Amino acid sequence: MIEVAGGVHVVRHEELDLTTGLVVGDDACLVIDTPGDHVQGAALARQIRQITAKPWHVVYTHAHFDHCYGTGPFQPCEVWAHENFRFDVEEKTAWARRYREQGKPEIGAAIEESELVAPTRTFAGRAEIELGGRKVVLRHFGPAHSFCDTVIEVPDTRTVFAGDLVEHPEFIEESFGDGDVTRWPGALDRLLALDPEVVVPGHGSPVDKDFVARAREILSAGWTSAR
């Protein structure tokens, strides 16, 4: 767990180099994404409780399994997501099978056992969560990596959690599954317009806006070439 600003933490996970987040206010805290199964989710919950005992909300950056299957251990709580958020039950089966084929049956079993916790609060373009003395802003910049990408801004620290709109050190093949790559560069333009000092990717270590600008150019050039 890395504190990138006062009360804003980044959690690095060994599995898939996943990156989740924690934002702490005076009255509550916000957990940004949960890992890919209930075992990893419980470990994250224990780690967070070493930092704060305040009640938590959870927000999903998008619906892919590694960002939302570990929410069961956080219940009961409010769970936020974009209104397009939907679970894909076939994805759950496919990833459980893939892990077994990779020789990791314990993770496959944990995925199958994990409760899929649906959002209790949804938004369209923008929403705010008050944590007590601190406001967190949720934004949707259109379909890109997925059709429900949510960017989480902590304005008082100029920190942005980008989900898989940004990955470090580079995008992986699974990044381009079910979104709209033609609109991805525009989504990054809107993220950059927030003028962040720290951008937390969905996978990998925190980066700066220059890294995001380079990623935007790579995506734009790739789409232009494909077109």
Q: Give the number of domains in the chain.
A: 1
Listed in sequence order, the residues at least 6 apart from 210 whose beta carbon sits closer than 8 Å to its beta carbon are none
Average pLDDT, the chain: 95
**pLDDT tens string 204-221:** 999 999 999 999 998 888
Range 199-223 burial, b when 16+ CB lie within 10 A, else e? bbbbbbebbebebbeebbeebbeee
Nearest alpha-carbon partner for 13 in 166, 205, 180, 156: 205
CATH number for position 98:
3.60.15.10
The whole-number pLDDT of residue 14 equals: 95
The whole domain housing 50 covers 2-226
Which of the pair, 46 or 177, is modelled with greater confidence? 46
What share of the chain in percent tops pLDDT 70? 94
Q: What does R_g of the chain's alpha carbons equal in angstroms?
A: 16
Query: Whole-angstrom Cα distance, residue 64 to residue 69?
Result: 8
**pLDDT tens string 151-166:** 999 999 999 999 999 9
